[in-house]
Structure 1
Amino acid sequence: MSLTPTVLTVVKNADEQREAEQVLAHAAGLLAPVFEKVDYLTRVGQPWEEIVREGETGRYDLIMMGQRQSRPLLTRIRGLVTQKVVARTTLPVLIAKREARPLRRILICDSGAQSPTLMQLFRERLPRILAQATDVTVLHVMSQISAAPGVRGADLYATAEELMQANTPEGSILEQDVSYLAQINLRTRAKVRHGLVLDEIADEARSDAYDLVVIGAHRDEGLPRFLLDDLAHELVLDVERAILVVR
């Protein structure tokens, strides 16, 4: 199936059209050898608003963005364009960081708290990304703060193998994820970390040579805003690898 990407650049004022043309010309130089056809668009307005508006036209499966380095305190106060897009779009968002490289080693942070699970959404919406991977780590964070009612105290400190052997809800999700990935011939491992979800995901992402970190996010409806801020919002800023936010 042929792919026709769209390159969008947003300027805040109409008199910045020349700068927009330079950005698109640079993109064309990079993409022309790869794709038979590419659409190029310029919008005037607030970047996050125009990106979300274009994404909601129904033409796209994925939004891909870069993320500029900024002063940490200013970023925490104002928020990044990427964070604002993630909070408002209904599409998956891939945020490129550091150097460009193939997405071979993937960390999937699947809590299993929602139905469908993150793995189900990932394989339904973006199967081509998994098709390019060589090995995948499925991570679940056992946290006293986010633990579901009825979780045994011992489970909060169990390993992935122990959770799967005990057939706990978390272990069942890990086992389902590993089983699916094994069917498509990926080297796979299940991993559990214990502590605060935000800290543990960020630490795991730094601990190994992952090319991509995959997390889930939820729209504001039915979810307290502080949970979105603590998870997707903060991870977009703190994770140093390319990050894919799936919903």
Structure 2
Amino acid sequence: MQLLIYAGHAPSRDAVLQFTAPIVQQVATGLTLVAGGGSSNTALLEDAIKQLSVPESLPVTLRALSGNAQEAIRSAVQERAYDLVSFGRLRPPIRRWLPGQRSKTLTQRLEPSVLRVQGMVRPLCRILLASGGDAHTFADVALTARVAQPLGATVTLLHVLLPDALFVEGRARRQRTVEEYLADGSPEAGVMQRAVAQLKAEGVPTQLIGRAGPVLDEIMAELEHGDYDLLVIGAHQVASALDRILLEDITGDLLERSPRPVLVVKGDEGA
């Protein structure tokens, strides 16, 4: 995994280094450390190598680039391809209302998958992967497995459905349980079942659960109830402009509200 971490001046710098250290040590095959503000901040990158306990065998590139944090990250991403880009909040809370791109917007706009470190940071043991049950689920699962398996983390695969989906039409309208829905032959249920099998085949302990209700509220409720360490969501390219707006709204709301780090998986439609 080619990993880029922003290790320059930022309110969340220590939290980012703490959370990503195990990924650097056990998952990454290449590491780029980036700082804004130019070459005068190279010392920050050298310090990050020590804080991350980077293995001697891991290739490391240091990039102290001109411009602010957002500009430095965008420039570095344009130089080469990365599997994952990680950063936290890039501006102090008192300055977040000022003009300029926020880390949430940067998370949504970057092409590679993004790990945004926020909220409570602790060892990565329990992962919540929220999926809509479409074909993009398998890309989300693939990246999640690459992180979870080396770290020995478990995954809970969550599918949120609208309450109306639980009703079966017929002579007598009947309401199924969420568990019955996930076990039936619907396309979404089939995707979720194959996703669980894919994770287990990669050696990742996995359970499948469902909730019925508003998507954002149910994801947040499960995130709190299950006491997870990381939320994984997909933000893949879609053909419809309306679908793209709705997807960005949900992603943005989760980035705003999540009390845990968020991994946003990217990819092209049909990937």
- Listed as ranges, the matches of 1:80-95 within 5 Å are 81-95=102-116
Q: What whole-Å deviation, never above 9, does each CA across 1:98-136 have from its counterpart, x for those lacking one?
A: 4554422111101023x3x22x11344464213134321
> Shift of residue 7 of structure 1?
0.7
**For residues 53 and 127 of structure 1, do their structure 2 counterparts lie closer, same or farther at Cα, with a shift above 3 Å needed?**
farther
Aligned to 1:43: 65
Aligned to 1:212: 230
CA RMSD of aligned residues (A): 3.3
Q: Report if the CA contact (8 A) 1:4-1:38 is conserved.
A: yes
Determine if the alignment matches structure 1 residue 134 to structure 2 residue 156.
no
Partners of 1:220 and 1:170 in 2: CA distance: 17
Percent identity (aligned) = 27
SS at match of 2:83: coil
Partners of 1:186 and 1:128 in 2: CA distance: 10
Equivalent residue in structure 2 for 1:187, among 196, 199, 205: 205
Q: Report if the CA contact (8 A) 1:88-1:219 is conserved.
A: no
Letter in 2 for 1:189: Q
Could you state the TM-score of these two structures normalised by the residue count of structure 2? 0.72
> Shift of residue 22 of structure 1?
4.3
Letter in 1 for 2:31: P
Equivalent residue in structure 1 for 2:87, among 59, 62, 65: 65
**For residues 101 and 110 of structure 1, do their structure 2 counterparts lie closer, same or farther at Cα, with a shift above 3 Å needed?**
same
Letter in 2 for 1:105: R
Q: Report if the CA contact (8 A) 2:161-2:210 is conserved.
A: yes
Letter in 2 for 1:7: L
Q: What whole-Å deviation, never above 9, does each CA across 1:156-199 have from its counterpart, x for those lacking one?
A: x7544211332122221221122222333433221112222122
Determine if the alignment matches structure 1 residue 7 to structure 2 residue 33.
yes
Determine if the alignment matches structure 1 residue 164 to structure 2 residue 182.
yes
Partners of 2:132 and 2:99 in 1: CA distance: 28
Letter in 1 for 2:187: P
Unmatched segments (≥5 aa) in structure 2:
2-27, 170-174, 267-271
Could you state the TM-score of these two structures normalised by the residue count of structure 1? 0.78
Q: What whole-Å deviation, never above 9, does each CA across 1:203-247 have from its counterpart, x for those lacking one?
A: 211222212111001347633353134211121121111210001
Determine if the alignment matches structure 1 residue 34 to structure 2 residue 60.
no
Aligned to 1:107: 128
**For residues 9 and 69 of structure 1, do their structure 2 counterparts lie closer, same or farther at Cα, with a shift above 3 Å needed?**
closer
Letter in 2 for 1:235: L
